[in-house]
Amino acid sequence: MEINGKTRTCGLIGDPVEHTLSPVIHNTLAASLGQELVYVPFHVKQGKLAEAVRGAEALNILGLNVTVPYKSEVIACLTEIDELARNIGAVNTLVRTASGYKGYNTDMEGLYRAMQSEGIKIAGEEIILLGAGGAARAVAWLCTMRGARRVYLLNRTLDKAQTVAAEVNASAGREAVQPMRLADYAQIPKGKYLAIQGTSVGLSPNNEDVVIADDAFYEKVHTGFDLIYNPWETKFMRLVKAHGSRAYNGLKMLLYQGIIAYELWNGVEVSEDEAQMVYKRLKDVIT
């Protein structure tokens, strides 16, 4: 693409940002849709976030994605926040407005679109969610808002699971999320569950790590969804498949959270054909 006086800039702020795949998503979309836009990573060191957002506003940057460790901290830098992002307590997308930036959370809807595209149902389901960090928090909201019957929320640190459960249950007006200690997984009642792996265990280069290795756990899983996409197939996914069930990685979640951000920045709708084209590019980059 030729950069000219009308080219708009979007980007990612985080620490670190070197491993991001987001430039692949946005620059591929801009090229394919013929839009004058470039997307670049910005490494923002800790303590510099507010300055970075003010600087972005002064430079008239159209939009930003926000990654670890700033998804909560960035809320204090916004002039407006979408209600869903406020409820989740995490923002991963900033959209330029006349007065500053409005914050959104596209991770949650991104995961929903990813699940829909794989034919995975949430409404009426019994779900096991492993982890209670930033990503798992959004998953707990998604599952509850989309009508999961029950979510067993398991975390190594129990009080984090309890905090997330209390917030989601209060907002939903029902006791949908049950917090548990990770080590107590054997207490989950007999049944078949959708299991969502939302911890950072198993992330490359620790490809052989898995948050639960016990066969008895995997016998309860009818579908496994790992938010990790690097490696392509995590140990969690391998264990799910070894017990005869389907397993998916988090690449489509990454894809769709990016597509929703792109749509917000540019006021366009990205077609499913375009989405599949970007997915293929992403897959080529990581495999």
To ligand NAP, the closest distance from the beta carbon of 4 in angstroms equals 32
Q: Does 136 bind ligand NAP (CB under 6 A)?
A: yes
Measured from the CB atom, the residue of 146 and 160 that comes closer to ligand NAP is 160
- Paired strand residues for 226: 197
Using CB under 6 A as the binding rule, whether residue 109 contacts ligand NAP is answered as no
- For residues 268 and 259, the answer to whether their CB atoms sit within 8 Å is no
CB of 251 to ligand NAP, least distance (A): 7
> Under the criterion CB under 6 A, does residue 135 sit at the interface with ligand NAP?
yes
Site for ligand NAP in 169-188 (CB under 6 A): 182
Q: Which residue's CB comes closest to ligand NAP?
A: 133
CB of residue 276 to ligand NAP, shortest distance in Å: 17
Contact partners, residue 109, CB within 8 Å, separation at least 6: 142, 256, 257, 260
Residue 6 designated active-site: no
User: Which one of residues 29, 66, 78, 132 is an interface residue with ligand NAP (CB under 6 A)?
Assistant: 132
User: Which of 13, 49, 53, 201 forms a contact with ligand NAP (CB under 6 A)?
Assistant: 201
105 contributes a contact to ligand NAP by CB under 6 A: no
Residue 282 CB, nearest approach to ligand NAP (Å): 11
Cβ-contact 65, 92 below 8 angstroms: yes
Q: What is the distance between the alpha carbons of residues 280 and 287, in angstroms, rounded to a whole number?
A: 10
Please state the closest distance from residue 228 (CB atom) to ligand NAP, in A: 5
State yes or no: residue 224 binds ligand NAP (CB under 6 A).
Answer: no
Q: Which stretch binds ligand NAP (CB under 6 A): 16-24, 31-39, 184-192, 197-205?
A: 197-205
Q: Please tell me whether residue 65 binds ligand NAP under the rule CB under 6 A.
A: no
Position among 39, 212, 250, 262 found at the interface with ligand NAP (CB under 6 A): 250
Choose the stretch contacting ligand NAP; rule: CB under 6 A; options: 43-51, 74-82, 97-105, 223-231.
223-231
Nearest to residue 133, comparing CAs of 209, 230, 201, 220?
201
CB of 60 to ligand NAP, least distance (A): 28
**Long-range contacts: 28-32, Cβ < 8 Å, 24+?**
28/277, 28/278, 28/281, 29/259, 29/262, 29/270, 29/274, 29/278, 30/1, 31/1, 32/274, 32/277, 32/278
User: Where along the sequence are the contacts to ligand NAP (CB under 6 A)?
Assistant: 68, 107, 131-136, 155-157, 160, 182, 198-201, 203, 211, 227-229, 250, 253-254, 257
Active site residues: 71
